[in-house]
Structure 1
Amino acid sequence: MSEEVNPNPVDRFPWPEEIEVPEGCEGWEEMYPRYFRFGESAERTELEKDRFWFWDQKDSPKPLRPWDITLCVESIAMQLSQAQSRVYAVPPAMGIDLRIIAGYSYASPVPCQDPELLEERKSVFSDRSEYVYENFEELYEDKWLPAVKEIGEEIRELDVPERFPEYAPEEVISESKGLYPGAVDVQSEYNRLQELTLRGWQRHFEYLNLVYLAYLSFKETCDELFPDISDNAIGEMVTGLETDLFLADKVLNDLAHQAVELGDEVPEILTSEETPDEKMGRLEETEAGREFLEAFEDAKDPWFHITVSRGYHSADGSWLDTLEQPFDHLYEKITALQDGETIRRDIEALQAERQEVVNEYRSYLSEDERTQFDQAHQLVLKVYNHAEDHQFWIENWLHTIIFEKLDEFGELLVNHEVLDDPRDITLFGRNEIPELLADLARVWSQGKGAQVPTYWQEEANERKSILTAAEEWSPPPAIGDPPEQVTDPMVIMLWGITTETVQNWLGPTQEEGSNEMTGFASSSGTVEGKARVVTSGSDLNEVERDEILVSPLTNPDWTPVFSKVAGAVTDNGGATSHTAIVCREYGLPAVTGTGTATSRLQTGDHIRVNGNKGEVEILEKAD
């Protein structure tokens, strides 16, 4: 795959101590736990230098706030590793290790290198995975999903006061409550929020390894039976997914159709240039508008609980913060309907096309080979919805609820002048916030007129400054000695990192001045059109119909835009990335994992995307 040309090739990536963070990032280390920092002991440094680390651009494309590493670093390191090593004993995988540099996350898969332990783990894995595969529908519908929803509802019910009272209520005396319990209760409620967040992420990885391994098993079966088969053809045999993640887009489509059916006034309001609040105010004035708003309100939970930036960046929030994203999507969908276009995804056609591809490949096989193929294919169809469903219920629905509850704690601190903005609370690590709440209780306890400290506000502003400086920096793509060969299937399938990718990071392998890029052939078809480079979800409203989306990676909150673009190209991600899955579902040509598309292309470039071969060609540069 083509990567940006490095004019000074080297044989390794820098060690952590050789990396110079930009000016303004001094002191970033104090923002993160020591167990996620490089070089905290001589023994650990030796271990770290014996491994290859890559920048996790999929989950950390920009620096993470201290609280956000609870979701993006700490939970992945703890829960993914636990799932692989202690629960299912995935034979070759002992989990993943992560480190942070100036807010950016670096990952290193931990392999099992002990032959005896490998054999021991095979037996454990076989028994446990077989049980899950056989009972997956029941486990998901009756156990997993209700448990996730229960966690979300319990977080909602946590009691966070807007502010502490001027004086403790009378019942403190009359009912002998042991002084005012609220000052202690709020700390208990926050501790419960931490616990529930971690429990939610245990559910995140409960079955995810087995889902991807089922896909990998199917891929290996196809590679064995059809030596020349493409990754895209394999992907086409698992399209037509009826996953919950796509239901947000379906609900928006239904709302757009309902708006058009309600007459001219509702579409006119929804396609105006007014703010969401102004549109809702106008809709309240008519019977048709109120009918639409009722349906809109019903859709919010759960389908508008969509987080921005993969749900790992609390500062970006979710759709519910401003409602700009759903209203922008409705604008586009109603406009398309008025132009006579179809906006609904034809799931039956996709499933028919899938079966056609499956039938063709089955026709090449003997009876025994068909049995082998069918078993692998039926298994991946049985479980693969979860690859996207878990994203919706954990990274979107649950994270939205978590962010809303954090805002309540932040509002309490703002109301007592401890912080300037509610979401500044996420500038502190999850284990630091009890200190803020304890300090709040201390000052409140001293009565009216007690001096409120300014050091928390000062610390928050200093950390904002560090993160802003870090966001202007492009960290090294990897750390340490490169592997002779990238073999970890998850690294290849999810992150899109291959042996060639790593070599391209080290030095030039493409011809100077080339107009071509290569990546993963993630969704079939060929399309030509104007590129639209989008690096942030806030820029999605600039995407025009039939343009080709070019981005570092796409997020679940971007899903509705796929109904208007003609294709997609990404820097990161493999054949099972979110971009690849969604493009196959929407029938869009896609090339993922090009490495440098967003730096080599600019909006307005005329490009050709060949999703069959994984090739992108610049036909004409924009003026």
Structure 2
Amino acid sequence: MRERFPFAGELELPDELQGWEEMYPEYFQFELTEERTEYERGRFWFWDKKDTTEPLMPWDMTISAQAWQIAMAQNTSRVFAIPPSMSVDIRVIAGYAYFTGINVEDEDLLNERAELFTERSDYYYENYDALYNGTWLPEVKRIGEEIDDLEVPPELPEYTPEEAVIEGKGQSQDTLTVLRNYNRLTELALEGWQRHFEFLYLAYLAYMQFTETSRELFPDISDDAIGKMVSAVEADVFRPDQELNALAEEALELGGSVPEILKSDRDPDEKIKQLRADGKGQEFMSLFDEVKDPWFYMTYGDGFHSYEGSWIEDLEAPFDHLRSKIERLEDGESLGRDFEELQSEREAVVDEYRQYLSAEERQLFDDAYETCMTVYEYAENHQFWIENWLHTIVFRKMREFGRLLENEELLDDAEDVFLFTRFEVAELLEEACSTWALGKGAFVSGRWKDRATKRRGIFEAAKQWDPSPALGEPPEEVTDPLMQMLWGITTEKVENWLNIESEPTDTDTLEGFGSSSGRVEGPARVVDNTTAIDELEEGEILVAPLTNPAWAPVFPRAEGAVTDDGGITSHAAIVCREYGLPAVTGTGHATKLIETGDRVRVDGQAGVVEIVEKASKPE
């Protein structure tokens, strides 16, 4: 067994990745100075596969690392002063993010922070509804709407409108508008991420406090039992799937040609055209159009990668889901969650545990439970409103700037705008404005196009690279509860990483978090990315690195779920509890050991996955 993971400077990167450093802000790169290298090599860094399963585009770093680091770190260090957790530091290698937690060990500082944290967190817990619905959600919507309204011309005009002279403006406003609105876009994106973390750790800490209270009162209680007591949460992240369910039911109720059009193999544009030409189809499309904004602002991935796209821009996924749901309804199946039944099950579990407690213990339990249930919805809601809805708007607006740069001949393709950092895009736009100002026929440099071509090759090579799961010397024991809950990182998983060194082993048993109870056996379907999720067939067990909100509509097809990463509060864990599917999360390397077609047995109570029979036995 290896004693440690490689340091960043020891990694052997493919030749195709040479020059990747030019694509990303210097601040996020490892080993820039001797002093910094000493600091970095003295820490344990883990690859954030939860959010960067694939590399980040340079501009996407704006929201996936730059805004993230500031917002995430200050929330724990400066705003709520979470006693043991100072912050999380971030570095990037070829577009992949690595995290390290910075903890507080000084006893005096812990006490100082504990007093401040108690005062501030109590206020948020006590006033959550007013703060969330009265301030947080309206402000997030305001940010998105303001970004949407920013004016970006497709190209700069041949001549500035005469109003510039008639109204005494003195100069063209076109270039000022472009530069001002790009700066405003990045400013609003950063502001959105300030909102992203506002309640997030408080929600997770409330869950952790309830978990700790439950374990103190019931030493043998399982993670799954605790999870069941906080299930059946009416979170906005489930609304896209719920709205699709309602649309499928409405399509059958309308009847006529509507169900047949929706079940056809035509592309979305053709289906929409046919529906709008049909009387009942027009009724359906009226409902469809009402649902699209905001509930189809779902990205095809995790929300952090501009190239993944969104439902509202590509309606393939919602129409595929509608076809599947209509067919299920026609077969007599029910759709979605039986929310009332889930609530009844939750209340029954809570009541069962409460009856074993004394009056004093029950009060302690109830206080922790009430706080958790009050704020825990935020853990899911922020994913929809920031990582899906807001990011869709941000990326869409960036494409408008990309089209401007393409039309002004500084880029070959509007999508290439994401190959540059936010500071480089500002420079690109300034050069476009300066070239325009020189007049028709002014020299246009091709260096940005050359850089984009080179960077596109590096980025595609990065997508094929398999980074080390961690860097540096691991701790003897992983004790950070947030690392366990959010990323599923445990002492055992780190030891497994050291043992397998990213290579499959010959074991037929994996262990992880028992995140949703139940036992099931069936054929596996390994899904490495969002584009392959529709390959999941009825009765199969989903095996994936992670899941994200866009996958929710296909969960009813699955018999269970297994993930490489994520803890008991990961998306897969929460959704599987909502749908009553057995799930084991945070196995470390299920997608490396299991192949599509393998017969697997999932024990969501014990957190164990067994490969019962291989689809193809080795010769």
TM-score by length of 1: 0.97
Match of 1:557 in 2: 550
Partner of 1:45: 37
Match for 1:535: what amino acid? D
| Whole-angstrom distance in 2 between the partners of 1:210 and 1:76 | 17
Q: Paired residue for 2:447?
A: 455
2: CA distance between counterparts of 1:203 and 1:475? Answer: 31
- The equivalent of 1:252 in structure 2 is 244
Whether the aligned pair in 2 keeps the contact of 1:414 and 1:422 (CA below 8 Å) is yes
Question: In 2, are the aligned partners of 1:270 and 1:279 still within 8 Å (CA)?
Answer: yes
Change (3 A) 1:267 1:147: same
Residue aligning to 1:188: 180
* 2:592 paired residue among 599, 611, 618: 599
CA separation of 1:162/1:583 partners in 2, compared to 1, >3 Å: closer, same or farther? Answer: same
Supply the distance in 2 between the matched residues of 1:121 and 1:78 (Cα, whole angstroms).
Answer: 19
1:28-427 → structure 2 map (5 Å cutoff): 28-427=20-419
SS of 2:164's equivalent?
Answer: helix
Q: Distance in 1 between matches of 2:6 and 2:449?
A: 35
Deviation per residue, 1:171-219 (Å, 9 max, x gap): 1222222221111210110000000000000000001111000000000
Structure 2 equivalent of residue 429 of structure 1: 421
Deviations 1:517-538 (A, max 9, x none): 1110000111111111111111
Whole-angstrom distance in 2 between the partners of 1:113 and 1:564: 47
1:563 Cα offset (Å): 2.0
**Alpha-carbon distance in structure 1 between the residues aligned to 2:422 and 2:595:** 39
- Per-residue CA deviation, residues 568-603 of structure 1 (Å, 9 max, x unaligned), is 100000001111011101111100001111111111
Q: Determine if contact 2:402/2:417 at 8 Å carries over to the other structure.
A: yes
Aligned-partner residue type, residue 533 of structure 1: V
Amino acid at match of 2:167: E
C-alpha distance in structure 1 between counterparts of 2:302 and 2:3, whole Å: 33
Contact (CA 8 Å) 1:23, 1:469: kept in 2 or not?
no
Residue in structure 2 matching 1:539, options 504, 524, 532: 532
The alignment status of 1:446 with 2:438, answered yes or no, reads: yes
Determine if the alignment matches structure 1 residue 569 to structure 2 residue 544: no
**Alpha-carbon separation, structure 2, partners of 1:553 and 1:28:** 26
Match of 2:615 in 1: 622
Q: Does 1:502 align with 2:512?
A: no
Which amino acid is 1:276 matched to? P
Cα–Cα, structure 1 residues 247 and 511, in superposed 2: closer, same or farther, change >3 Å? closer
Tell me how far apart the structure 1 counterparts of residues 409 and 267 of structure 2 sit (CA, whole Å): 30
What SS does structure 1 have at the residue aligned with 2:543? strand
Q: Note the C-alpha offset of 1:512.
A: 6.1
1:94/1:257 CA distance change after superposition, 3 Å: same
C-alpha distance 259-547 of structure 1, shift in aligned 2 (>3 A): same
The answer to whether the Cα contact below 8 Å between 1:534 and 1:551 also exists between their aligned partners in 2 is yes
CA separation in 2, counterparts of 1:40 and 1:512? 36
Q: Compute the displacement of 1:514 (Å).
A: 2.7
Moved more, 229-238 or 558-567: 558-567
Counterpart Cα distance in 2 of 1:365 and 1:372: 10
- Gaps of at least 5 residues in structure 2 are none
SS in structure 2 at match of 1:309 = coil
Q: 1:396 Cα shift?
A: 0.7
1:248-302 Cα shifts (integer Å, max 9, x gaps): 1000000011111111411111111111111111112201111111111111111
1:25 alignment partner, one of 4, 17, 31: 17
Instruction: Report the Cα distance in structure 1 between the residues aligned to 2:566 and 2:187, rounded to whole angstroms.
Output: 31
Contact 1:244 1:389 in 2 (8 A): yes
Q: Which structure's relative contact order is higher, taking Cα pairs within 8 Å and 6+ residues apart?
A: 1
Deviates more, 1:170-179 or 1:515-524: 170-179
Match of 1:5 in 2: none
Superposition deviation, residue 229 in structure 1? 0.8
How many residues align structurally? 615
Check conservation: 2:336, 2:579, Cα contact below 8 A: no
Q: Which runs of 5+ in 1 are unaligned?
A: 1-8
Cα separation, 1, equivalents of 2:540 and 2:468: 31
2:604 maps to which of 604, 611, 614:
611
CA distance in 2, matches of 1:503, 1:54: 13
Q: How far does residue 618 in structure 1 lie from its aligned partner after superposition?
A: 1.2
Q: If the length of structure 2 is used for normalisation, what is the TM-score?
A: 0.98
Shift in Å at residue 360 of structure 1?
A: 1.0
Q: How far off its partner does 1:20 sit?
A: 1.3
Q: What CA distance in whole angstroms lies between the structure 2 residues aligned with 1:279 and 1:601? A: 38
> Where does residue 530 of structure 1 map in the other structure?
523
Counterparts of 2:475 and 2:66, CA distance in 1: 25
**1:361-415 alpha-carbon deviations (Å, 9 max, x no partner):** 1111111111111111111011110100011111011111111111111111112
Separation of aligned partners in 2, 1:92 and 1:160: 45
Offset at residue 423 of structure 1 (A):
2.1
Bigger mean CA deviation after superposition, 320-329 or 211-220: 320-329
Tell me by how many angstroms 1:473 deviates.
Answer: 0.9
The code of the aligned residue for 1:64 comes to L
Q: Secondary structure at the match of 1:12?
A: coil
Alpha-carbon deviation of 1:620? 1.6
Deviation at 1:508, TM superposition (A): 5.5
Query: 1:402-449: per-residue Cα shift (whole Å, max 9, x none)?
Result: 111111111111122222222221111111111010110121112222
The 3-state SS of whatever aligns with 2:411 is coil
Q: Report the counterpart of residue 6 of structure 1 in structure 2.
A: none
Aligned-residue offset at 1:10: 1.2
Q: Distance in 1 between matches of 2:438 and 2:554?
A: 54
Percent identity, please: 55
SS of match in other structure, 2:65? helix
Cα distance between partner residues in 2 of 1:71 and 1:261: 43
1:501 Cα shift? Answer: 0.8
SS of structure 1 residue aligned to 2:97: strand
For the residue of structure 1 that corresponds to 2:188, the secondary structure is: helix
Q: What RMSD in Å do the two structures reach over aligned CA positions? A: 1.4
Q: Note if contact 2:160-2:174 (Cα within 8 Å) is conserved in structure 1.
A: no
Per-residue deviation, residues 211-250 of structure 1 (Å, max 9, x unmatched): 0000000000011011111111100000010011101100
